[in-house]
Amino acid sequence: MNNLYLKNIVTLKLDKEACVKCGMCINVCPHEVFELKNSKLEMINRDRCMECGACQINCPVGAISVKAGVGCAYAMIKGALTGTEPSCGCGDGDSGCC
């Protein structure tokens, strides 16, 4: 099942010139956003990006940028009410409660 969230909203950017095609982003992406096509890295499922930031932090040449954060309404409401950075206080389950 391909779960899709809102279209055309994620902050993910790829600098194809800087990319060294190491494939690390392909390894760490949980939603198959990247693919090497004809030895070029492409974002084939950009709308599936959940902005977890794994590709950015693991890109050895800084070719990927994304404003990473937790896609959690509860965390954002809590953050807005307390005037702090949105951060979920959850440790339950392993299905990505953040």
Partner 1 sequence: MITNKLTNLKPKCSCSGPSSTLLNTSMSINIQQTTAELGIVDHFTHLRLRLGISRYSKVDPGIYKVGNPDQDSLVFISANYVMSFNKLRNALKGMNAWIMVLDTKGINVWCAAGKGTFGTNELIKRITDVKLSEIVKHKIIIVPQLGAPGVSAHEVGKATNFKVIYGPVRAEDLKTFVNNGFKATKEMRQVNFNLTDRIVLIPVEIKMILKYAIAASLLFYFINHFGSNSNFINDVLIMLLLAIVSGTILSPILLPFVPFRAFSLKGFLISLIAILAYIAYAGLTSPYLVAGSILLFPALSAFISLNFTGASTYTSVSGVRKEMRRYIPFIIGFLTVGFILITISLVRGI
Which residue do the tokens 């902005």 mark?
51
Please state the closest distance from residue 40 (CB atom) to partner 1, in A.
18
The torsion angles phi and psi of 30, rounded to 5 degrees, stand at: -80, -5
Query: Rounded distance, CA 74 to CA 78, Å?
Result: 6
Q: Does 88 bind partner 1 (CB under 8 A)?
A: yes
Tokens of residue 50, six digits: 């959940």
Contact segment (CB under 8 A) with partner 1 among 13-21, 36-44, 86-94 equals 86-94
Q: Give the total of residues touching partner 1 (CB under 8 A).
A: 50
From the list 9, 17, 38, 81, which residue makes contact with partner 1 (rule: CB under 8 A)?
A: 9
Q: How would you label 51-75 residue by residue, b for 16+ Cβ within 10 Å and e otherwise?
A: bbbbbbeebeeebbebeebbebeeb
In the region spanning residues 26 to 85, those forming contacts with partner 1, defined by CB under 8 A, are 26-32, 48-54, 57-58, 60, 67-77
Tokens of residue 12, six digits: 């993910």
Binding site for partner 1 (CB under 8 A): 1, 3-7, 9-11, 24, 26-32, 48-54, 57-58, 60, 67-77, 86-88, 90-98
